[in-house]
A and B are shown apart, each in its own frame.
Chain A
Amino acid sequence: MSNEIFVLVEHHAGAVTDVTHELLGKAAELGGPTVACLLGHGARGLADGLAADTVLSVDDPVLEHFVPEAYATVLASLIAPRDPRLVLIANTTVGMDLAGALSARTGRPLVAYCTELAFDGEATVATSQVYGGKLNAEVEVTGPVIASVVAGSFTAASGSPGAVQDVAAPDLSGVRTQFLARVAPDTSDVDITAEEILVSVGRGIGGEENIELAQEVAEALGATVSGSRPVTDAGWLAKTRQVGKSGRKVKPKLYLACGISGAPEHLEGMSDAELIIAINTDEKAPIFDVAHYGTTEDLFDVLPALTEALQGAIA
């Protein structure tokens, strides 16, 4: 095992993701040496903006788009000879495909949903969010380890690399996954990232027929209705209204969360809102840890009362 800390560089549409810089920041804080793994085709230029001791750049036409199998094969081939003590991967769609694959391929333990990391002698101590953010687990691993890290956990580093090394891709002719197309986001609906007030509903709203309770509050406030993933998956609201990791990241002046538990994937999309007010009957719901104000009253009572109070206040 070497002392190196590997970071997977995730980049989309020619830009390195914020969480990549956060991982580089943590890697440096842990003492490095930091090795950024930059995979792509014609993306080598991105190395200039990476605060790492070394960038390993692998360029191959197969890597032009994210092909899980190909990326896993290349990363495994980078890990094998250098045997890093820690491999950091963001817990994104890309990371969810790669971290487990590398654990299976290299036999290294994997800590998922990681939010904290420290070295304790030979051991790595990591904190993980489990049970939808209701519990943390502190785990200890001896020997080399992979961590998939929740975005927003660490402070980003900025800078430029010490050295950039080109590494030839391993044989990728056996890859059975092929990139077909990129489907751009739907822009026909309101852009919830541009809205100043969002009344956001979660599974607690119970059904499509109840959305109108939120709609009424929104109308009284001059706001827009958004929602959590289960609500858009069920078709109660359009996909364009989804807030969170796989939806939109929003930063409104007011975010009124109604019947939303506050799972880490939801919080990723709204915890920076200026004012968060949460209505949730479960006093242990993680949403209350990011909300400024909260209530455990039933949303079916609070929303109509709020509509009325707002109408009175404005009239």
Chain B
Amino acid sequence: MNIVVLLKQTVDLVEELELNDDGTDIEREYLSFKLNEWDEQALEEALLLKDAGAGSVTVIALDETDVDQSLYSALAKGADRAVKLTGDFEGGVSSHRRAAILAEHLQREPYDLVLIGVQTPEDLDGQAGVILAGRLGVPHVSVAIGVEPLDGGVKVSQEFGAGVVHELKVAGPAVIGVQAARQAPRYVPISRIRAAMQEGGIEEAPAPEVPAETGLKVRRMYAPESSSHAEMLSGGADAVAARIVEIIRERGILK
């Protein structure tokens, strides 16, 4: 089975997000980018399938900020191939555009199974995986927490709220939006990533040009002005701890 994993670089949410001058998008220039956390789960699930002898793993990413790092890390973890699609992605790439490019590219890249993170923090116009499946005309399952080979296809565990899980069987090529791999993503020592870098091995291809509009016009982006904000406690850990005890005692929570 040819397993393709789609990787995307996304902003690190721990950072301060600044807006551009007209307040319609984040200012990307000075931000640091890292692999979307759900894509990391998708990669792990693919590597677990490979470990079980189910097939080979190809990771594919658009040439977005610091993507080499993520591609080499995937190779160091055990991916067989890494493909970087080059093009102009500076202003960020919508999910519809990403899906259109990847759908076009996948016409040339044989695949049996596509794994992608179920979402990214930037999916204003929806999640790329499900849009991609729609464009490819193949089945899709979102919020997967396990993918295993079954009768030439796959068995997917799909998670609903409150601990309910459905098991689905999907025959033929499919796109799966991964929420969590069956185990926590493996750790790879930096020395192995460096070794992968030394070997090179990232294949490059120009991203196919495909027109894809989201149809959305962003009027403005802003930090939510919440109607209420927590009353902040300060003055050091001991003072804060003492205040917390006081508060919960006043409320009768502490008996």
Q: What residues of chain A have their CB less than 8 Å away from a CB belonging to chain B? A: 12, 65-69, 72, 92-94, 96-97, 99-105, 108-113, 125, 128-143, 145, 148, 175-186, 196-197, 221-222, 229-230, 233-235, 239-240, 245-249, 253-254, 256, 261, 275-278, 282-284, 286, 288-298, 301-302, 304-306, 308-310, 313-314
Q: How far is the CA of A135 from the CA of B41 in the complex (A)?
A: 24
- On whether the beta carbons of A100 and B223 are closer than 8 Å, the reply is no
Q: How far is the CA of A93 from the CA of B180 in the complex (A)?
A: 13
Complex partner residue of B241 from A67, A125, A294, A308, CB under 8 angstroms: A308
- On whether the beta carbons of A289 and B226 are closer than 8 Å, the reply is yes
In the complex where A100-B131, A104-B135, A245-B161 touch, is A138 in contact with B234 (Cβ < 8 A)?
Answer: no
A130 to chain B: which residues have CB within 8 Å? 121-124, 221
Minimal beta-carbon separation of A242 from chain B (angstroms): 8
In the complex where A96-B127, A288-B229 touch, is A246 in contact with B119 (Cβ < 8 A)?
Answer: no
Minimal beta-carbon separation of B207 from chain A (angstroms): 19
Prevailing SS type, chain B contact patch: mixed
Task: List 15 A–B pairs whose Cβ atoms lie within 8 Å, in order of A's numbering.
Answer: A67-B168, A100-B131, A101-B133, A112-B126, A131-B17, A135-B221, A179-B168, A182-B164, A183-B165, A221-B254, A282-B14, A293-B232, A294-B230, A295-B232, A305-B240
Complex partner residue of A197 from B135, B177, B253, CB under 8 angstroms: B253
- On whether the beta carbons of B13 and A134 are closer than 8 Å, the reply is yes
Prevailing SS type, chain A contact patch: mixed
Q: How far is the CA of A282 from the CA of B125 in the complex (A)?
A: 27
- On whether the beta carbons of A306 and B241 are closer than 8 Å, the reply is yes
Q: How far is the CA of A222 from the CA of B248 in the complex (A)?
A: 13
In the complex where A101-B130, A288-B229, A291-B230 touch, is A134 in contact with B223 (Cβ < 8 A)?
Answer: yes
B254 to chain A: which residues have CB within 8 Å? 221, 310, 313-314
Q: How far is the CA of A145 from the CA of B215 in the complex (A)?
A: 9
- On whether the beta carbons of B223 and A135 are closer than 8 Å, the reply is yes
- On whether the beta carbons of A138 and B240 are closer than 8 Å, the reply is no
What residue in chain B is nearest A106 (Cβ atoms)?
A: B134
Interface 9-residue window, one of B50-58, B63-71, B136-144, B198-206: B136-144
Interface 9-residue window, one of B78-86, B104-112, B152-160, B189-197: B152-160
Is B113 engaged at the interface, CB distance under 8 Å to the other chain?
no
Q: Which of B238-255 contact A (CB under 8 A)?
A: 238, 240-245, 247-249, 251, 253-255
Minimal beta-carbon separation of B240 from chain A (angstroms): 5
Minimal beta-carbon separation of A178 from chain B (angstroms): 5
- On whether the beta carbons of A141 and B162 are closer than 8 Å, the reply is no
B: number of interface residues (CB 8 Å)? 91
Q: How far is the CA of A92 from the CA of B118 in the complex (A)?
A: 12
Q: How far is the CA of A268 from the CA of B237 in the complex (A)?
A: 29
A297 to chain B: which residues have CB within 8 Å? 233-234, 236-237, 240
- On whether the beta carbons of A306 and B245 are closer than 8 Å, the reply is yes
- On whether the beta carbons of A182 and B233 are closer than 8 Å, the reply is no
Complex partner residue of B245 from A110, A112, A182, A309, CB under 8 angstroms: A309
- On whether the beta carbons of A295 and B240 are closer than 8 Å, the reply is yes
Q: How far is the CA of A63 from the CA of B24 in the complex (A)?
A: 41
- On whether the beta carbons of B218 and A68 are closer than 8 Å, the reply is no
Complex partner residue of A183 from B130, B166, B172, CB under 8 angstroms: B166
Is B211 engaged at the interface, CB distance under 8 Å to the other chain?
no
- On whether the beta carbons of B244 and A182 are closer than 8 Å, the reply is no
Once A and B bind, how many residue pairs between them come within 8 Å at the CB atom?
288
Complex partner residue of B221 from A137, A140, A291, A313, CB under 8 angstroms: A137
A186 to chain B: which residues have CB within 8 Å? 163
- On whether the beta carbons of A104 and B134 are closer than 8 Å, the reply is yes
What residue in chain A is nearest B242 (Cβ atoms)?
A: A309
Minimal beta-carbon separation of A175 from chain B (angstroms): 8
B209 to chain A: which residues have CB within 8 Å? none
Q: How far is the CA of A231 from the CA of B27 in the complex (A)?
A: 30
- On whether the beta carbons of B177 and A137 are closer than 8 Å, the reply is no
- On whether the beta carbons of B127 and A239 are closer than 8 Å, the reply is no
- On whether the beta carbons of A292 and B230 are closer than 8 Å, the reply is yes
Q: How far is the CA of A68 from the CA of B174 in the complex (A)?
A: 12
Q: How far is the CA of A120 from the CA of B238 in the complex (A)?
A: 52
- On whether the beta carbons of A99 and B124 are closer than 8 Å, the reply is no
A308 to chain B: which residues have CB within 8 Å? 241
Minimal beta-carbon separation of B213 from chain A (angstroms): 8
- On whether the beta carbons of B238 and A305 are closer than 8 Å, the reply is yes
B230 to chain A: which residues have CB within 8 Å? 276, 278, 288-289, 291-294
Is B167 engaged at the interface, CB distance under 8 Å to the other chain?
yes
A183 to chain B: which residues have CB within 8 Å? 157, 164-167
What residue in chain B is nearest A268 (Cβ atoms)?
A: B161
Minimal beta-carbon separation of A239 from chain B (angstroms): 7
Complex partner residue of A294 from B179, B221, B231, CB under 8 angstroms: B231
- On whether the beta carbons of B134 and A254 are closer than 8 Å, the reply is no
Minimal beta-carbon separation of A309 from chain B (angstroms): 4
Minimal beta-carbon separation of A130 from chain B (angstroms): 5
B174 to chain A: which residues have CB within 8 Å? 176-177
- On whether the beta carbons of B140 and A68 are closer than 8 Å, the reply is yes
A92 to chain B: which residues have CB within 8 Å? 160-161
- On whether the beta carbons of A137 and B251 are closer than 8 Å, the reply is no
- On whether the beta carbons of B168 and A177 are closer than 8 Å, the reply is yes
In the complex where A131-B26, A177-B170, A302-B240 touch, is A99 in contact with B224 (Cβ < 8 A)?
Answer: no
